[in-house]
Amino acid sequence: MAAILVWFQLVLFVAAGACAAPAHALTLKDAAGKDIEIALPVKRVVFLSLYDLIPVFGIWDRAAGINRWAFDSAVLKGSPELEACPSVGTGDSVNVETLLSLHPDLVITWSYKPEVTAFLVERGLKVISVWPESLRELYQVIDLYGRIFQKEDRAREVRSLMENSLAATASKVSKTPPEKRPKVLWIWTKPTTVSGGVGLQQDLIRLIGAVNPAEHIPSKQADVSLEWIVAWNPDVIFIWGSARYGPGDLASNRQWKSVGAVRNGRVYKAPAMSTWSPAICTLALWMADKAHPGCFDRTEALEAIREFHMKCFGAPLEGLALD
Amino acid sequence: MGFVNRKWLKFLLGMSPLLFGGLSLFWGAYGISPLLTAKILLSKVFFLDATPAPELSIVWEIRLPRVVLSGVVGAALSGAGVALQGIFRNPLVDPFILGLSSGAAFGCALSVAVFPQFPIQVAAFLFSLVASFSTYMLARTQGEVSRLHLVLSGIVVSAFFSALVSILKFLVDPHKLVSIVYWLLGSFSLADWRAVGVVSLSMLAVSFPLILMRWRLNALSMGEDEARALGIPVERDRLLFIGAASLAVGSAVSVSGIIGWVGLMVPHLTRMLVGPDHRVLVPFSLAVGAAFMIFADTLARNLTAFDLPVGIITTLSGTPFFVYLMKRGAKESWGK
């Protein structure tokens, strides 16, 4: 299934790049590999996925409807435009009548449920499905948004901001010799659900000059025995920001006491921010600072994060501390 | 089967939890030699402290509680299954017939979706008992609590709680949904001594009446009229067994999630091996349930690099077993 999705994404991105768009149309391939032509400019879009990119591109005026999980997004929460935007359900469960009543020019949704995409296409809607699983694919989505919304300059600018931010983070930690790179484990809903060698978390761990001891597992997430985690003995553990447990829970659990990260108090709960937006750069810097203590001047780093956030999202970043 | 062979069989069945538990302790993702494992166990038993930290932690804090917990949960599910099959006189009854699993699932979903400060285990335990109690009270609305009313009430209560779970699953965000789904699959991946303590206490409270009163299950399994003719207070005894089974299964489910088939399959298997007399069947079902669950969980954590939910293993092994049972003839195994 994963292979099919990756294949589809490649088709989508290659097609988006290869098909030169006429003056007032953009040709892309849909989930079934069929060409779809989108009339430009796109004026009414329903965002079932990647809604965090709306403020990045300043396209609230084109948002006809939005996924209801957008109301929980750290980036969007509280914005007056969001409050005015009607919810159409979720990527898994769309309220088709509401969606159709909004008369969208385009629907952007996740690609992991091709049957939803097919259902919407059959009802005459233009649908684009996306599911970025790596930094490279996230950049491709940003380029795609630039093309769809005719904001290629902004896409280039955002991409450049992201690349510069990530490069600055990577260069700070690049002095660490390979043999001294910390072993960093990212854990999810359960403390024994780890990030494997595929996905954005794996990209981030590599980028911050660390090694993921679970990278040999060929999936984004995997439930593993606690014995594996003890055997890997990670130096740093990052807990997914929306998990129900925190560093204190691992520290007070005797089963974890022989894990280096727990013993040395290097378990951190990540800020609850989406990795499907430029906010991933903020997360990368936060992770790098924790994985390489002393490597960053925290005041300087925090200032850089705030500046980056303001440039990308057009709003100040609140509630993030590095210490 | 000869008398001597039968004695040996019973001996092996009785010892099976220790046998499987012992073997399971030596098999895990972290390579520890059997000698070192034995040394660690002995050092802990005799209060010595001469073993390296990671190995000690793995054997004593991770593997052993997991083996013990899976054994206790297996015994709880199997014991409850044999008791309920006896009083319902129905070989297709399992411990979840009273709505326990749906109630526990609702408790879990409620904790994840609405009350994150409330531990999943406590919520699951409470709602499994609420479901069981509701089933019993619903059956009583018709006056006498008959087997048929109990089964029908169980179906109604299960459906009700399942619908509530579905609503919550629909409403929660995908990340929380993952938590609920994982829990529903059943797993011992987070087993620790605290969980062992909780379940063992309730199992002790339940096993004694179950074992001491097991002969009454023989009377109840003959039918209500026959049991009454023998002077058995049918409704009172039935309530007692249902209460005990609910407590055992509720506490088991609260720490492991929902693990299907054990309470249905193991009593059948044991009945085939030792016969339908509950005086023998009850203690051996507890032992075989424990051994089977330890075996299934050992496979779950060692078959792949992943920690598979044990519910998958029990279901995968249960299905062919039932096909075999159907071919052999269920009547034979039920002792008719």
Domains of chain A: 2-152 (3.40.50.1980), 175-313 (3.40.50.1980)
Look at A92 and B174 and tell me if their CB atoms are within 8 Å.
yes
Q: Does residue A9 carry a pLDDT above 50?
A: no
Q: Does residue A12 carry a pLDDT above 70?
A: no
pTM over 0.95: no
Q: How far is B27 from chain A (nearest CA, A)?
A: 11
Give residues 153 to 192 of A whose Cβ lies within 8 Å of B. 188-192
Domain B3-334 is found in CATH 3.30.70.1380: no
More confident residue, A65 or A73: A65
Task: Please state, rounded to an integer, the average pLDDT across all residues of chain A.
Answer: 85
Cβ atoms of A75 and A312 closer than 8 Å:
no
- Residue B52, pLDDT score: 63
Residue B243, exposed/middle/buried by CB under 10 A (0-12, 13-18, 19+)? middle
Show residues of chain A in contact with B187, CB under 8 Å: 223
Give me the torsion for CA of B120, B126, B129, B133, rounded to 10°: -140
If you search the block for the tokens 């017939």, which residue do you land on?
B97
Look at B309 and A225 and tell me if their CB atoms are within 8 Å.
no
Look at B192 and A92 and tell me if their CB atoms are within 8 Å.
no
| Signed CA dihedral, B131, B135, B140, B145: sign only | negative
Nearest to B61 among A92, A189, A254 (CB): A254
Nearest CA in chain B to A244: B116
ipTM over 0.95: no
Q: pLDDT, tens digit, for every residue of A134-169?
A: 888 899 889 989 989 999 999 999 999 999 999 999
- Residue A10, pLDDT score: 41
Look at A230 and B190 and tell me if their CB atoms are within 8 Å.
no
**What mean pLDDT is predicted for residues A60-68?**
94
Q: Does residue A318 carry a pLDDT above 50?
A: yes
Show residues of chain B in contact with A231, CB under 8 Å: 29-30, 54
- Residue B331, pLDDT score: 55
Q: How far is A312 from chain B (nearest CA, A)?
A: 26
Q: pLDDT, tens digit, for every residue of A96-137?
A: 888 989 999 999 988 777 778 888 888 888 888 888 888 888
Q: pLDDT, tens digit, for every residue of B128-154?
A: 889 988 988 888 887 777 778 888 898
Q: Does residue A19 carry a pLDDT above 80?
A: no
Substitution target from A73, A223, A273 for chain B, most B beta carbons within 10 A: A223
Q: pLDDT, tens digit, for every residue of A163-190?
A: 999 999 999 888 888 888 999 999 998 8
More confident residue, A17 or B15: B15
Q: SS3 helix, strand, coil % of chain B, rounded to 5? A: 80, 0, 20
Query: Cα separations (Å) of A287 from A195, A200, B215, B259?
Result: 15, 13, 63, 38
Show residues of chain B in contact with A254, CB under 8 Å: 57, 61, 192-193
- Residue B4, pLDDT score: 61
- Residue A18, pLDDT score: 42
Q: pLDDT, tens digit, for every residue of A259-281?
A: 999 999 999 999 877 778 898 99
Beta strands across the sheet bearing A45-47:
A63-66, A45-47, A106-110, A127-130
> CA-CA distance, A249 to A229, in Å (whole number)?
16
> In chain B, which stretches have pLDDT less than 50?
335-336
> CA-CA distance, B57 to A243, in Å (whole number)?
25
- Residue B76, pLDDT score: 92
Q: Does residue A23 carry a pLDDT above 60?
A: no
Look at A189 and B179 and tell me if their CB atoms are within 8 Å.
yes
